[in-house]
Amino acid sequence: MMATSNKILEREPSEIEMLLPWHAAGTLNARDSRRVDDALARDPELARQYAAIREEYAETIHLNESLGAPSARAMQKLFAAIDAEPVRRPQASLNIAARFTGFFASLSPRTLAWSASLGAVLLLLQAGLIGAVLTNKQSGSFETASLSNNESITRDLGAATLPRALVRFAPDARVADITALLDKYQASIIDGGKGGVFRLQFGNRTMTKGEVADLLGRLQSEKTVSLAVAAQ
Amino acid sequence: MQVLYGRHHVRVFRFGLRLVRNEQVAEDLISEVFLDVWRQAGKFEGRSAVSTWLLAITRFKALSALRRRKDVELDDEAANAIEDTSDDPEVAAQKKDTSEALRTCLTALSAEHREIVDLVYYHEKSVEEVAEIVGIPENTVKTRLFYARKKLAELLKAAGVERGWP
């Protein structure tokens, strides 16, 4: 038994064997995960090693969780240092990107396995931002030059903005679900708010109060949405 | 910054604490990490998760802090020689508690092995993310974790704990 154990420890590990810890943590991609599952099903020795890895995984979490949290002193020190920093001009576009990325960073690793879809959503965000910029450029008033009567034909586009809402997605919402939701409601993300709340703009026409209320009601009932409230 | 701090400071602290093994130093570390983030926010390109970026900065700061403490070296021998208030593997084995022995042996691993075990198991980082944080090739990440697990098995074996593997 001892000799067998030593032999196992001395040989070079196989590719599948080296992937076992990531399989236990659920951070493998779908292809590798299937490869490991197949190998585990046909190799009892590998399955025994995997059981040991599951123990290591559980105890590593236990050990880290037992380390507690930092005192308030660390936060006070940090914010005192930030207050002492020279004032900088905020970079709005970077802040939005960082908040958006931060939201996805807070999702579980399994969710993040949808990294390919994330690229698509980031493109969508970019499109939303471009849309928001174009909308802003078009705000204000315009007049036609051809019609003349006593009634003013000036239309204030600023007052007729498209419906918007502040939305927080469910913590277990997958990127694909969020993309589908945006498609379904013809919505664009135009801003990333604090705490994972996003400002969404809907459709291409103005809505009555009743229509907006109905839209918010439908949004709120979506399982990928945990909060939806009207926004300016 | 408050949102970012609120969301990540505990994990950053724990990762730092496992590396520097000193609460005071770990607390100073997180202030330094988030202050760096504040200063370098414009440099974050969004190619990796925010948590991966934070852990990479934490690791860099922790290693710098360890280098400043001249009595501490980053090799296995010195890491194992650092005083640890918890039970050593032999004591844990006497308690016949595999879980506790495992936790003790996880603490007794070298800094290099501890960080990779923590990043994969606790911080749930992929091979690619660990490679980015530690600054080593992906294949090295896989082999380093295997050898960290091998070392762990040796420590457990020395403590008389049988787990069914190897």
Distance from CA of A66 to the nearest CA of B (A): 9
The answer to whether residues B37 and B1 belong to one domain is yes
Note the ipTM here. Answer: 0.81
Per-residue pLDDT, averaged over A108-129, amounts to 55
Q: Determine, for residues A27 and B154 on separate chains, whether the beta-carbon distance falls below 8 Å.
A: no
Q: Determine, for residues A62 and B118 on separate chains, whether the beta-carbon distance falls below 8 Å.
A: no
Angstrom distance (rounded) from CA B133 to CA B59: 8
The answer to whether residues B92 and B46 belong to one domain is no
Q: Is the pLDDT of residue A97 over 80?
A: no
Q: Report yes or no: A158 and A139 within 8 Å, Cβ to Cβ.
A: yes
Q: Report yes or no: B54 and B12 within 8 Å, Cβ to Cβ.
A: yes
Of B3, B18, B166, the CB nearest to A9: B166
Q: What's phi and psi for A167, nearest 5 deg?
A: -130, 135
The answer to whether residues B81 and B127 belong to one domain is yes
The three-state secondary structure class of A16 is: helix
Which of B10, B44, B72 represents a domain boundary (last residue)?
A: B72
Tokens representing B107 are 């603490």
Quickly state the pLDDT bin for B94 (edges 50, 70, 90).
Answer: low
Q: Which residues contact A127 (CB under 8 A, 6 or more apart)?
A: A188
The answer to whether residues B86 and B67 belong to one domain is no
As for how many domains chain B has, the answer is 2
Angstrom distance (rounded) from CA B21 to CA A101: 31
Q: Determine, for residues A21 and B120 on separate chains, whether the beta-carbon distance falls below 8 Å.
A: yes
Furthest-apart CA atoms within chain A: distance in Å: 102
Quickly state the pLDDT bin for B119 (edges 50, 70, 90).
Answer: very high
Minimum Cα–Cα distance from B15: chain A residue: A64
Q: Determine, for residues A62 and B42 on separate chains, whether the beta-carbon distance falls below 8 Å.
A: no
Distance from CA of B73 to the nearest CA of A (A): 23
Angstrom distance (rounded) from CA B149 to CA B97: 19
The answer to whether residues B130 and B143 belong to one domain is yes
Of A28, A52, A75, the CB nearest to B163: A52
Q: Determine, for residues B149 and A94 on separate chains, whether the beta-carbon distance falls below 8 Å.
A: no
Q: Which residues contact A150 (CB under 8 A, 6 or more apart)?
A: none
Of B34, B44, B121, the CB nearest to A98: B44
Q: Determine, for residues A74 and B163 on separate chains, whether the beta-carbon distance falls below 8 Å.
A: no
The answer to whether residues B9 and B88 belong to one domain is no
CATH number at residue B143: 1.10.10.10
Q: Report yes or no: A198 and A191 within 8 Å, Cβ to Cβ.
A: yes
Average per-residue pLDDT for chain B: 83
Paired residues of A166 in beta bridges: A199, A229
Tokens representing A79 are 């914010």
Which of B53, B72, B91 represents a domain boundary (last residue)?
A: B72
The answer to whether residues B16 and B56 belong to one domain is yes
Q: Determine, for residues B30 and A194 on separate chains, whether the beta-carbon distance falls below 8 Å.
A: no
The three-state secondary structure class of B97 is: coil
Give the pLDDT confidence of A185-229 residue by residue, as tens digits.
888 877 765 566 777 888 877 888 888 888 888 888 888 887 777
Quickly state the pLDDT bin for A145 (edges 50, 70, 90).
Answer: very low
Q: Determine, for residues A22 and B127 on separate chains, whether the beta-carbon distance falls below 8 Å.
A: yes
Distance from CA of B161 to the nearest CA of A (A): 12
Q: Determine, for residues B126 and A17 on separate chains, whether the beta-carbon distance falls below 8 Å.
A: no
Matching residue, tokens 């000036």? A154
The answer to whether residues B166 and B86 belong to one domain is yes
Quickly state the pLDDT bin for A143 (edges 50, 70, 90).
Answer: very low
- Which range of residues forms the domain containing residue B7? 1-72
Exposure string for B78-92, b = 16+ CB within 10 A, e = fewer: ebeeeeeeebebeeb
The answer to whether residues B96 and B68 belong to one domain is no
The answer to whether residues B44 and B103 belong to one domain is no
Which of B11, B43, B72 represents a domain boundary (last residue)?
A: B72
Angstrom distance (rounded) from CA A135 to CA A131: 6
Q: Report yes or no: B58 and B33 within 8 Å, Cβ to Cβ.
A: yes
CATH number at residue B1: 1.10.1740.10
Mutation for B interface: A7, A18, A65, most B CBs within 10 A: A18
The answer to whether residues B1 and B55 belong to one domain is yes
Distance from CA of A41 to the nearest CA of B (A): 17
> Cα dihedral sign for A93, A99, A102, A106?
negative
Tokens representing A127 are 């499109």
Matching residue, tokens 């990479």? B56
Per-residue pLDDT, averaged over B67-80, amounts to 56
Contacts of B163 in chain A (CB under 8 A): 52, 55
Angstrom distance (rounded) from CA A106 to CA A171: 8
Of B17, B23, B46, the CB nearest to A97: B46
Minimum Cα–Cα distance from B5: chain A residue: A75
Q: Give the strand pairing for A197-202 and A225-231.
A: unpaired
Q: Which amino acid is at A53?
A: I
Q: What is the CA radius of gyration of chain B?
A: 17
Distance from CA of A192 to the nearest CA of B (A): 13
Q: Determine, for residues A21 and B46 on separate chains, whether the beta-carbon distance falls below 8 Å.
A: no
Give the pLDDT confidence of B14-73 residue by residue, as tens digits.
999 999 988 999 999 999 999 998 888 777 766 678 899 899 999 999 998 888 775 545
Mutation for A interface: B13, B87, B122, B140, most A CBs within 10 A: B122
